[in-house]
Structure 1
Amino acid sequence: MADVDPEVRKLIDSVENPVRRRDAETLVELMSRATGQPARIAYSGIVGFGTYHYHYESGRQGDAPGAGFAPRKPATTIYLNDGVAAHADELEHLGPHTTGVGCLYVKDLEQVDLDALERVVRSSYEALTRPVVE
């Protein structure tokens, strides 16, 4: 991780849990490969890669990271903003994890299939950043 944004480096260095810190280092590399985008601080405590524009039926709209993660104390949160259900088949083979609607929670990346995780991140990012054809 030689060429990482200083704010991202500061966040990773501040992670107390050595497993979460190691996993954050791994995810910066994995998500950079999967998205083709550099790591940056997206929100407080969240490392993001690229952006996508969302627009809800309510009229609310904005920009959010196309991929991202947060090294939280109980587990690392990996954001899949197109929804976890879109990746159900691949996640069956991932290894130990839990999920929310748009979040994947992993306690130790050494216990999961990193190739499968990279495919999930890439697929999610591509779905979110694909140009909308009207």
Structure 2
Amino acid sequence: MKKAKTIETNASVAEFIERVESPSKREDAYKLLAIFSETTGYEAKMWGPSIIGFGSYHYVYKSGHEGDAPLVGFSPRKAKISLYVACEETKKQQLLKNFGKHTAGKSCVYINKVADIDIEVLKSLIKETVQFLRATYPDGQK
């Protein structure tokens, strides 16, 4: 079985954010850091080289694949900012209707900048994701 690439590290979140090239993305990363920290109550940790995660859980899929992942997180990537939220799909779609300018994948929502989105909806997405993953993987909380 292959080893997961995205694992929690001891790298500094602040140092990672300071290396973000775009000043506006760096500023948005600090805004998101505050929002995610306040909303989850978890300390930010680096996951792999570029994901800032909050909390963690252990998952086991029916295929037998298993690993650890942050409950929620974000990454200020060059093209867009990735928000890692994986709440129940119907609830996610309802919340995204009022979220603002974004595109969405299965467990990611992509934004250009924080000013494009509704912060209260983001907080709801974060809370819903934490609640959903805690309920889905009750034995995997860390």
- Structure 1 residue runs without a partner (length 5+): none
Please give the secondary structure, in 1, of the residue aligned with 2:56. Answer: strand
Aligned to 1:74: 79
**Matched residues, number:** 129
- Structure 2 residue runs without a partner (length 5+): 1-9
Asked whether 1:100 is paired with 2:113, we answer no
Q: Distance in 2 between matches of 1:59 and 1:126?
A: 23
1:35–1:49 distance in 2 versus 1, CA, 3 Å = same
State which of 22, 29, 33 in structure 2 corresponds to 1:24: 29
Residues 74-115 of structure 1, C-alpha deviations (whole Å, 9 max, x = no match)? 110001234665411011101100011111001010121001
Q: Which has the higher strand share?
A: 1
State which of 48, 52, 60 in structure 2 corresponds to 1:47: 52
Percent pairwise identity: 33
Report the TM-score when normalising by structure 1.
Answer: 0.88
Aligned to 1:132: 138
CA contact (8 A) 2:37 2:44 kept: yes
Give the residue type in structure 2 aligned to 1:97. H
Give the residue type in structure 2 aligned to 1:111. D
Asked whether 1:87 is paired with 2:127, we answer no
More deviation in 75-84 or 120-129?
75-84
Following superposition, the deviation at residue 6 of structure 1 comes to 7.1
Q: Distance in 2 between matches of 1:14 and 1:84?
A: 34
Residues 20-54 of structure 1, C-alpha deviations (whole Å, 9 max, x = no match)? 11111011111112211011111111101000111
Q: Distance in 2 between matches of 1:50 and 1:132?
A: 13
